[in-house]
Chains A and B, each alone.
Chain A
């Protein structure tokens, strides 16, 4: 299993992680946390305390939009979907992180995949 990334470092990547997931499909909070954990092999882990403030902040900025609807089990869940503004944020954020890894690589020999 991949080593878990320090929460302080992980927090900075949260916006990109959430936007990337929601670009594929609308998800509710628990699903977002679960998928981030699964797809990063547990390296990135979002708890309730780290996920929801970030989601609410992104919602305030108009990047995502939350709406109540029933999930497959018939329970009401707040599904988040990407707004057009959020979609426009995705490419620049990816580029920003790419530049960040390149810079880190040049400085500390931290190569990325």
Chain B
């Protein structure tokens, strides 16, 4: 009996749909073809006639692939993006924010660290917790078959949010108070303090989950 899944895969390209949706479609269409073949065989049809019946099932595979993609893509993409990016990113952000709040509520004072002649205040307990949240975000994204980019963004979301906030604050501050060199320096220190160092901590945790392609991984695990 032909490998119907391989048959369908070779005719419907995988690029546009999330891997789990694509695999479901392949398995479903392959099982339909398999049952069509079994039914025709049981009816006593000869091989040529069976082949004709199978061919009549789909006249234009390219058109079918495009139609299925249209029917499946919108909701699937939305769900996939939510599960592989927004939700893990939100969890990383909430975890990191909660950890900082608890660190401050516990009365922990930031520790001054001198780097290249510049003093940076760091909350060590908070920074120590960040790899955990970076790992959690990247892992959840990987589990939802997120791409490497989605895992990277999910694992580093709290630092990226802070970068966005600071990117809004700086031009606003310059606009209100006017340009001062000291303001730029303090912004640079803040950037290292609240974005650079936390980003490194988050990425340390996320790193183990950034390797490998979720799509390829899923295809290898495809249902048989």
Contact = CB atoms under 8 A, between A and B. Distances in A.
Interface of A: 28-30, 33-34, 47-49, 52-53, 56-57, 59-60, 68, 75-78
Nearest to A56: B71
Contact of A57 (B28, B36, B71): B71
9 contacts: A30-B32, A30-B35, A30-B36, A48-B32, A49-B57, A60-B72, A60-B74, A68-B24, A76-B223
A47 B54 CA distance: 9
B186 interface: no
Nearest to B39: A34
B191 interface: no
Interface residues of B, number: 25
Contacts of A34: 39
Given A60-B71, A60-B72, A68-B24, 4 more contacts: A29-B28, A53-B68, A56-B68, A75-B31
4 closest Cβ pairs, A-B complex: A56-B71, A53-B67, A48-B57, A49-B58
Nearest to B57: A48
Contact of A49 (B35, B39, B60, B72): B60
Contacts of B71: 53, 56-57, 59-60
B123 to A, nearest CB: 47
Contact of B58 (A48, A60, A76): A48
A47 B57 CA distance: 5
Q: Main SS of chain A's interface residues? A: helix
B44 to A, nearest CB: 17
Given A48-B57, A49-B57, A77 B68 contact: no
Given A47-B57, A47-B58, A76 B64 contact: no
B60 A77 contact: no
Nearest to B8: A48
A60 B103 CA distance: 46
A81 B67 CA distance: 22
A27 to B, nearest CB: 12
A60 B75 contact: yes
A53 B74 contact: no
B64 A53 contact: yes
B39 to A, nearest CB: 8
Contacts of B177: none
